[in-house]
Chain A
Amino acid sequence: MNLVEGLLTQIQGLSSTASDVLSLQNVLKQADESLHAESTRLLPFLDQLDPSKHSLGYLYFLEACTAGPVTTESASSFVLVIARFISSCVAEQIRLAPDKFISVCKRFKDQVLLLEEPLRGVAPMLTAVRKLQSSTEHLTTLHPEFLLLCLLAKCYKTGLSILEEDIFEVDQPRDLYLYCYYGGMICIGQKCFRKALELLHNVVTAPMSTINAIAVEAYKKYILVSLIHHGQLSTSLPKYASGVAQRNLKSLCLSYIELANSYNNGKIADLETYVQANMEKFGSDNNLGLVKQVVSSIYKRNIQRLTQTYLTLSLQDIANTVQLNSPKEAEMHVLQMIQDGEIYATINQKDGMVRFLEDPELYKTCEMIEHIDLSIQRLMTLSKKLTVMDELISCDPLYLGKAGRERQRFDFDDFDSVPQRFNI
C-alpha cells in the first residue's frame, strides 16, 4: 500500500512540466511490476488522480487495473472509467507510453464487445486514435480496432471519415492488413466501391513473406468488388505483388475465380446456376450479399453496353437482349440506373422507347475547372513527396550498401553510379 501511495504523491507532484514528466516515467517504469501485483486493489486510488493533469500516471494505474481477465460486472464500470480517461487525457503524455495506451484501449474494446454495445465504444475509440497518431498519415494499432467497432455497430459514416485520410506510415504490417480489410468492408457497406477496391488492392499487393488469412479473405472480396465496379477482373496480380501472393492466392479462392469467369461469359443463366450451386460456400465466407450484388450488376453491364450501339431502343428489345422477363422489369432497371447516374437516358412511356443520351458534361463549367485545378495541385504535392522519399532512400546507407553489393546482378543503367565496395 505504501508503495502505491508513494507513487500517487509522486505522480501528483511530477506531472506539471515536461522534464518532470520524463523523470516520472522512469519512476513508473520501475514500479510497473509492483503495480501489476496489486492490480485488483488499485481501482479506488484512481479517484485521487486527475486524468487531464496526471495522464501518464493514470495510464499506468489503469493499465495495471485492467490487466486481468475481463468479467461482465467489472466491464461496465471499467468502460465508463476508460471512456472518461480517453476523452480527457493529454496527448503528449500518452505518447510517452504508447503500448500501455494501446493495451488499455484494446481492453476497452473487449469490454464493450462483451457488453454487446459496440456503439458505446465508437466515439471514445475515435478520440483515442486521434490522440495516439503522431500525424494524420500515421497508422496506429488502434485504427483497425476502431474500424472493427464501427463495423459491428454499423455506423459506417464515422468509419469513412477516418478512411478519407491517406496513410503513409505504418507501425506494424498486420495493422495495415486489418485496417485495409475492415476499411474495404466499410466502403462496401457505404457503396463506395472505388475506395473499397483501392483498400483491398493494398492488402492483396502488400509485401508479405508468408500468405496470411487476411489477404485471402481480402482477395475474395476484391474479386467480387472488382466485378461489381469494373465488370471484369484482371487475371493476374500486378508485378509488384509479393511472390507468395502471386503463387498462392488464386488456388485458395478458386470458386470466386470460377464466378468471375462465368461472369465474363455474359450468360446470366449460367451465372445464376453457379451461384445457386455454391451458395453455402459463399455464405460461410459471409459474402452472400456481395455475390447477389454481382449478379444484379451483370444486368447493368449489359444495359450499359447497349448505350454504345443504340440511340433509341424499345423496352421490349432491352428486355430480350439483357434476358429480363418483361419490359416492366427492364423499365425498372433503366430507371434505377438513371437515378444512380450510371447512364444518361430518357424513357418514353407512350411508345415504350428509351432514348440514350450522351454524357451532358461539357467540361466547360467553373466547377469543372476548379476540380481540375485541385487535382493538379494534389498531384503536385504527391509528386514532391515522392521525390523527397526517393532522395531519402538514395542517401540511406543500408540501401547503398546493398545496391553496391548487388551491382553485377543488374544492368548498369539500373543503378546510379554506386561504387562496388561501399562500406560505412
Chain B
Amino acid sequence: MDGEDGAPKSLMEEMYANGIEGVDDAPSSSTSTTIRKNRPIISGEQLDIEAYAALYSGRTKIMRLIFLADHCDNSGMQLEALRMAYDELKKGENTQLFREVVQKIDGRLGPNYSTDATWCAMVDRKANQRKDKLESELNAYRTNLIKESIRMGYNDFGDFYYAHGALGDAFKSYVRTRDYCTTSKHIIQMCLSAILVSIEMGQFAHVTSYVSKAEQTPEALDPPSIAKLRCAAGLAHLEAKKYKLAARKFLEVGPELGNSYSEVIAPQDVATYGGLCALASFDRTELKNKVIDNINFRNFLELVPEVRELINDFYSSHYASCLEYLGNLKSNLMLDIHIHDHVETLYDQIRSKALIQYTHPFVSVDMRMMADAFKTSVAGLEKELESLITDNQIQARIDSHNKILYARHADQRNATFQRVLQTGNEFDWDVRAMLLRANLLKHEYNLRASRKI
C-alpha cells in the first residue's frame, strides 16, 4: 500500500503544485549575449536600447526613443536613448522635434549634443526653398491638368510635411491625392501613407477606415502589403481596447511582413501584442487553434521566446511560471508606446482567466495550494476569488473557516419553482394595477365627456 502511494503521490503533487518546478526554466539570460540581431529584445532583462532601436526606422524610431527616455527611471538608459534620438534627428529634417530633444538632454551629454542653431537655420531655409519649389511645381501641374503629375505633386508635399513633422498637413496632402488616383496601386499607396501618418498622429479611427478602403482592392495587394494592413488594423483595435479583434488581426499577419513595416512595427511587436491579447481574450479552443497550432505565427513567436513560453505554460496550466514570465516582461512592456496603457488591463484579464481555469475542473479546491500555485497569500487569493464569484465568473462558494473553495451548481428545480411563483405574483400585481388604472381612465374620460355635453 505504501509502495503504491509513492508514484501516484508525486504525480498528484505535480498536478496541484502547478509548475513550481517550472521556475527552473530560466529566461533567456544565457542566450542574450549570443546573437544580438533577432534574439529576444523584449525580454525579462533590461532593454537593450541599440538593438531595440535598430528594429525601427523613420519617425517611429525617434518617437519610441523619446518615449523610452520619458518613461524609464534609469538615467543612463535615458541619456542613451536621447543621444540616439539626437543622432537620428540630425539625419532628418525635423527641427521642431530636434529642439525638443535638445531641451530634454539639457546639456547632460556634453557640448556635442547641444542646440545646433546653425544646423536648424540651414534646415529651415532649405525647407522653405523646397516648399516654394513644390508649390510652384504643383501649380504648374494643376494648370496642365495631368492627373498623374498632380498626384505625384501632392504625394511629394505629403512626404515633405511628414519629414518636417507637420503631420496634419501631411495627412491632408495624402488624402488629396485620392482624387487623382488612377490605378489600384495608387490607391494602395495613398492608403498606406495615410495609415502611417494616422498612426503617428494617434488617430486610429482613420487607420481603420483606410485599412478597409485598401482591402477593397484585393487584386493589387501583394503579400507584404496585406501583412502591413493587418498589422495596422491590429494596432487600431488594440488602441480601441478590442483585444479579441486585435489578437485575431495580429495572428493573421503572415511571415512576409519581415522588416518591411519597420516604420510602424517590428515582428517582435506583432508576436508580443498578438500573444498577450490572445491570452487575455481567447478561450481555450481558440487559443489552441489560432495560436499554438498556428504555423505562421510560430515564426513570430520564435523572436520572443518568453511570450511563447508563457502561452505554453498557460495552456498546460503551469500558472506560476506563466505569471512569473509576465511579471518579468512587465517593466519592458511599459516602455512600449502602443501597449503601455493596456498592460494592466491585459495582465488582470490573464490572471482572472488563470484563476477561473484553475478552479474549473474541480469540485473542491484547497485554497492554500492554490495560493502557492499563484504565488500569493491565502487572504489575497480569497479577495480575488470573492470578486470573481460576485461577477459570476466562477460558480463556487468559499468555506472561509477551512479555506476550501467548493464548486456550486445551481439547483435548477428549485430555481424554476422560485421563478414560477415570482412570475405569478408579478402577473397578479400587474393585472390588478392595470384594471384599476383602466377604471380610473374610464372614469376620467366619462367625466370629460359628460362635461362636454
- Flag if A363 contacts B432 (CB, 8 Å): no
State whether A167 and B436 are in contact (beta carbons under 8 Å apart), knowing that A207-B444, A362-B414 are contacts in the complex.
yes
A4 at the interface (CB under 8 A from B): no
User: Sorted from nearest, which 5 A-B pairs have the closest CB atoms?
Assistant: A363-B417, A312-B401, A311-B399, A311-B397, A309-B389
State whether A382 and B431 are in contact (beta carbons under 8 Å apart), knowing that A312-B401, A375-B421 are contacts in the complex.
yes
- Flag if B431 contacts A170 (CB, 8 Å): no
Using Cβ atoms and an 8 Å threshold, which residues of chain A touch B420? 372
Q: Which of these, A168, A351, A358, A375, contacts B436 with CB under 8 Å? A: A168
Using Cβ atoms and an 8 Å threshold, which residues of chain B touch A317? 400
Stretch from B10-18, B210-218, B422-430 forming part of the interface with A: B422-430
A103 at the interface (CB under 8 A from B): no
- Flag if B400 contacts A310 (CB, 8 Å): yes
21 contacts between A and B (CB under 8 A): A167-B436, A168-B435, A176-B440, A198-B429, A201-B433, A305-B390, A308-B390, A308-B397, A310-B399, A310-B400, A311-B398, A311-B406, A312-B402, A313-B401, A359-B414, A375-B424, A375-B428, A382-B432, A385-B435, A386-B431, A386-B435
A239 at the interface (CB under 8 A from B): no
Using Cβ atoms and an 8 Å threshold, which residues of chain B touch A379? 424, 427-428
- Flag if A372 contacts B437 (CB, 8 Å): no
B443 at the interface (CB under 8 A from A): yes
**Closest beta carbon of chain B to A18's beta carbon, Å:** 28
Q: Which residue of B lies closest to A383 (CB)?
A: B431
B438 at the interface (CB under 8 A from A): yes
A residues with CB within 8 A of B:
166-171, 173, 176, 198, 201-202, 205-207, 209, 240, 305, 308-314, 317, 351, 353, 358-359, 361-363, 372, 375-376, 378-379, 382-383, 385-386, 389, 393, 398
**Closest beta carbon of chain B to A260's beta carbon, Å:** 21
Q: Which residue of B lies closest to A168 (CB)?
A: B435
- Flag if B398 contacts A310 (CB, 8 Å): yes
Using Cβ atoms and an 8 Å threshold, which residues of chain A touch B440? 170, 173, 176, 206-207
Best-surrounded residue of B420, B436, B442, B444 (most CB of chain A within 10 A) = B436
Using Cβ atoms and an 8 Å threshold, which residues of chain B touch A386? 431, 434-435
- Flag if A308 contacts B414 (CB, 8 Å): no
Using Cβ atoms and an 8 Å threshold, which residues of chain B touch A351? 401
Supply 12 further A-B pairs (C-beta < 8 A) apart from A383-B431, A389-B438: A168-B435, A173-B440, A205-B433, A207-B437, A309-B389, A313-B400, A313-B401, A363-B414, A363-B417, A372-B420, A378-B428, A393-B438
Alpha-carbon gap, A372 to B428, bound state (A): 13
Using Cβ atoms and an 8 Å threshold, which residues of chain B touch A171? 443
**Closest beta carbon of chain A to B394's beta carbon, Å:** 10
Q: Which residue of B lies closest to A307 (CB)?
A: B397
Instruction: Summarize B's interface: helix, strand, loop or mixed.
Output: helix
Using Cβ atoms and an 8 Å threshold, which residues of chain B touch A308? 389-390, 397
Using Cβ atoms and an 8 Å threshold, which residues of chain B touch A312? 399-402
- Flag if A314 contacts B400 (CB, 8 Å): yes
- Flag if B435 contacts A389 (CB, 8 Å): yes
B386 at the interface (CB under 8 A from A): yes
B441 at the interface (CB under 8 A from A): yes
Report the interface size class on chain B.
35 or more
Alpha-carbon gap, A198 to B411, bound state (A): 30
Best-surrounded residue of B401, B402, B421, B429 (most CB of chain A within 10 A) = B401
**Closest beta carbon of chain B to A350's beta carbon, Å:** 11
- Flag if A372 contacts B421 (CB, 8 Å): yes
Using Cβ atoms and an 8 Å threshold, which residues of chain A touch B444? 173, 207, 209
- B:435-453 near A, CB below 8 Å: 435-445, 449
- B:363-401 near A, CB below 8 Å: 386, 389-390, 397-401
Using Cβ atoms and an 8 Å threshold, which residues of chain B touch A170? 436, 439-440, 443
Using Cβ atoms and an 8 Å threshold, which residues of chain B touch A169? 439
**Closest beta carbon of chain A to B449's beta carbon, Å:** 7
Using Cβ atoms and an 8 Å threshold, which residues of chain A touch B435? 168, 385-386, 389
Using Cβ atoms and an 8 Å threshold, which residues of chain A touch B439? 168-170
Alpha-carbon gap, A228 to B75, bound state (A): 59
Alpha-carbon gap, A255 to B429, bound state (A): 29
Q: Which residue of A lies closest to B397 (CB)?
A: A311
**Interface code B216-247, partner A: CB below 8 Å = 1, 0 otherwise?**
00000000000000000000000000000000
Alpha-carbon gap, A317 to B400, bound state (A): 9
Alpha-carbon gap, A206 to B433, bound state (A): 9
Alpha-carbon gap, A202 to B434, bound state (A): 9
B91 at the interface (CB under 8 A from A): no
Using Cβ atoms and an 8 Å threshold, which residues of chain B touch A375? 421, 424-425, 428
Using Cβ atoms and an 8 Å threshold, which residues of chain A touch B400? 310-314, 317, 353
B9 at the interface (CB under 8 A from A): no
- Flag if A309 contacts B397 (CB, 8 Å): yes
Using Cβ atoms and an 8 Å threshold, which residues of chain B touch A376? 424
Alpha-carbon gap, A376 to B417, bound state (A): 13
B37 at the interface (CB under 8 A from A): no
Using Cβ atoms and an 8 Å threshold, which residues of chain B touch A353? 400-401
Alpha-carbon gap, A187 to B444, bound state (A): 28
Q: Which of these, B414, B427, B429, B438, contacts A361 with CB under 8 Å? A: B414
Alpha-carbon gap, A386 to B436, bound state (A): 11
Using Cβ atoms and an 8 Å threshold, which residues of chain B touch A240? 434, 437
